[in-house]
Amino acid sequence: MAILDYADDIWREALDVPQGREPAALILEGTWWRKTATENRLSHLSDVRELAFPDMFAGKWNGADVVYCCAYGAARAVEPAHIFAHLGTPLLIQIGTCGTLDPEASTGKVILPESCAARDGVSQHYGAGATVRTDADWVNRAERYLTDRAVETQRAFHLTWPSLFAQSDEMCDGWAAEGLLSIDMETSAVAAVAERFGVKAVSMLTVWDALPHGRTFLDPLEPEDAERLRRSNEQVFDVALLLAEEAAQQRSR
């Protein structure tokens, strides 16, 4: 049997996740710095254990069961998204950094994708069309929590693209002309998986690369920009945990 056709009991047995103990939320983070990110994020959780599949960690926060996975790129992110959405985890949360196509966007602003151009190479295999959407209610909740923490946000028509490197100036100009405001490598694929399995997805992405100014991750940031980036990354994870707690509360009603 091909993996896309597996029944959920196969995943339960493989991961040793009993019925009723599915996490309330899966938090996915796309970054090269897997070891540092994982250590930092897991320090916020209690009762942490690595599941049978590597880099998937279950833990608790304020009584909510959460799984965290550092998964870089759409092809990797869809794997934990697929498994836990299939098991009925009600909320998939994508976090990480992104590039901006908005000349006015500052480092550390948090992008909240609403509609995503699904050009990641994976989404269409989950039934997605040219665009997918995140869940409006969860975007509203994320925006409210971030605003309460004085984090600048921007809702966006967003692009998910398969490669950080295969982005030319000509491509960026074309994307900006389409009205696309930001780029990452995971969001649309995670949203497509969520839609296929009937669960919800939300994405919170901190601006790092400023493509209209020719600035990439290779360029050093000014100290104030570096601090805004650091603070937004921390606040985004805090908000992700609050969203997970809300998902757990909704499920228990």
- Taking the C-alpha atoms of residue 129 and residue 119, their distance in angstroms, rounded to an integer, is 10
The count of domains in the chain is: 1
For 162, other C-beta atoms within 10 Å of its C-beta total 14
Summarised one tens digit per residue, pLDDT across range 104-136 is: 878 899 999 999 999 999 999 999 999 999 999
C-alpha 92, offset from chain centre: 7
CATH number at residue 65: 3.40.50.1580
Domain hosting residue 126, numbered range = 3-252
Interval 159-183 mean pLDDT: 94
- Taking the C-alpha atoms of residue 80 and residue 8, their distance in angstroms, rounded to an integer, is 13
pLDDT at 226: 84
Predicted structure pTM score: 0.96
Summarised one tens digit per residue, pLDDT across range 182-240 is: 999 999 999 999 999 999 999 999 998 777 767 777 778 788 888 988 999 999 999 99
pLDDT at 24: 96
pLDDT at 253 over 80: no
pLDDT at 5: 84
pLDDT at 79 over 80: yes
Residue with tokens 């998910």: 160
- Taking the C-alpha atoms of residue 7 and residue 156, their distance in angstroms, rounded to an integer, is 35
pLDDT at 212: 73
